[in-house]
């Protein structure tokens, strides 16, 4: 696991954007795994800037999002499909047919989940997966005690995640308690994974995920099994890491 600590989220998002740009230059039809929430907003803004100002071309890129709320159709303002359109897809030249988000409005959830896994396989697998982390250590919406080999399926959100995400909903009753999420096994099959975390509220989860034991109680700790996982944290999110000096030492010696 590579851990990079920097003072500001902006420079970490530029680093993540550099990784995506390099990948797209090597493989114009790259398969990106994408996340929603507050964390990747600056990354999407940077990718949009590179598209507009530097001609970064998404015309052949394929995308798969981690998750979607059960019961919210793609046009619902709080759906992750709306989020992705508003914050990224409508501002770059990705083909709408090449973007994939689980359909939370389906009547057959197991069939939707199996089809989502198949679509990822048919695309040749995910080249680079962007991840955020929940304050309870979730990745995707794999809440604590999720199987470390899980595939795309329905999950029930924890009370903590519901509270963390309540800010996106006008009324408590509007917030779905269930999601369709890629599994931990699905995420571990990505060829590279970049976990972004900013702010104090993520410090405990990051320390447990990176330096704690591998455990289903902290789903992000499963990234310890990933062959190419990068953890990009600002000072606040990295503040409880015991080996901060070592991570900085490694980064300073990295050939550039």
**Catalytic residue ranges:** 67, 136, 138, 143
The answer to whether residue 134 forms part of the interface with ligand F6R (CB under 6 A) is yes
Q: Report the alpha-carbon distance of residue 144 to residue 157 in Å, rounded.
A: 10
Nearest to 144 by CA among 153, 156, 152, 154: 156
Q: Number of residues in contact with ligand F6R, rule: CB under 6 A?
A: 14
* Interacting positions 58-77 with ligand F6R (CB under 6 A): 66-67
Of the pair 116, 141, the CB lying nearest ligand F6R is at 141
The answer to whether residue 140 forms part of the interface with ligand F6R (CB under 6 A) is yes
The strands making up 153-156's β-sheet, listed across from edge to edge, are: 67-69, 178-181, 153-156
- Closest approach, Cβ 110 to ligand F6R, in A, equals 20
The answer to whether residue 144 forms part of the interface with ligand F6R (CB under 6 A) is no
Structural contact between residues 80 and 86, judged by C-beta atoms closer than 8 angstroms: no
Taking CB under 6 A as the criterion, the residue among 11, 21, 38, 215 binding ligand F6R is: 38
Q: Report the alpha-carbon distance of residue 24 to residue 19 in Å, rounded.
A: 9
The answer to whether residue 139 forms part of the interface with ligand F6R (CB under 6 A) is yes
Contacts of residue 145, defined as CB under 8 A and 6 or more positions apart, other chains included, come to 216, 217
Taking CB under 6 A as the criterion, the residue among 9, 33, 104, 132 binding ligand F6R is: 132
Residue nearest to ligand F6R (CB): 132
Of the pair 140, 238, the CB lying nearest ligand F6R is at 140
The answer to whether residue 100 forms part of the interface with ligand F6R (CB under 6 A) is no
Q: Report the alpha-carbon distance of residue 47 to residue 241 in Å, rounded.
A: 29
Q: Report the alpha-carbon distance of residue 156 to residue 141 in Å, rounded.
A: 9
Q: Residue 249 in 3-state DSSP? A: helix
- Closest approach, Cβ 171 to ligand F6R, in A, equals 19
Structure tokens at 6: 């920097």
Of the pair 98, 161, the CB lying nearest ligand F6R is at 161
Q: Report the alpha-carbon distance of residue 230 to residue 134 in Å, rounded.
A: 17
Taking CB under 6 A as the criterion, the residue among 6, 32, 36, 99 binding ligand F6R is: 36
Instruction: Give the range of 37-45, 47-55, 225-233, 244-252 binding ligand F6R by CB under 6 A.
Output: 37-45
Q: Report the alpha-carbon distance of residue 32 to residue 188 in Å, rounded.
A: 14
Q: What residues make contact with ligand F6R under the rule CB under 6 A?
A: 35-39, 66-67, 132-134, 138-141
């Amino acid at each position: 696991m590579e851990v990079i600590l920097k003072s500001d989220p902006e420079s970490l998002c530029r680093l993540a954007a550099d990784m995506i740009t390099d990948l797209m230059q090597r493989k114009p039809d790259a398969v990106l795994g994408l996340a929603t929430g507050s964390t990747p907003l600056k990354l999407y803004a940077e990718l949009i800037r590179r598209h507009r100002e530097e001609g970064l071309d998404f015309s052949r890129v394929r995308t798969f999002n981690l998750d979607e709320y059960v019961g919210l159709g793609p046009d619902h303002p709080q759906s992750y499909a709306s989020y992705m359109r508003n914050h990224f897809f409508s501002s770059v030249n990705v083909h709408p047919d090449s973007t994939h988000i689980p359909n939370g409005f389906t009547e057959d959830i197991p069939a939707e989940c199996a089809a989502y896994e198949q679509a990822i396989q048919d695309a040749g697998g995910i080249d680079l997966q962007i991840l955020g982390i929940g304050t309870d250590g979730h990745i995707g919406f794999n809440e604590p005690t999720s199987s470390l080999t899980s595939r795309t399926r329905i999950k029930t959100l924890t009370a903590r995640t519901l509270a963390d995400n309540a800010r996106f909903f006008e009324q408590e009753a509007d917030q779905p308690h269930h999601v369709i999420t890629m599994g931990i096994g699905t995420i571990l099959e990505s060829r590279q994974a970049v976990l972004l975390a900013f702010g104090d509220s993520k410090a405990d989860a990051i320390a447990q995920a990176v330096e704690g034991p591998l455990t289903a109680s902290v789903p992000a700790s499963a990234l310890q099994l990933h062959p190419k996982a990068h953890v990009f944290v600002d000072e606040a999110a990295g503040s409880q890491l015991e080996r901060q000096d070592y991570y900085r030492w490694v980064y300073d010696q990295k050939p550039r």
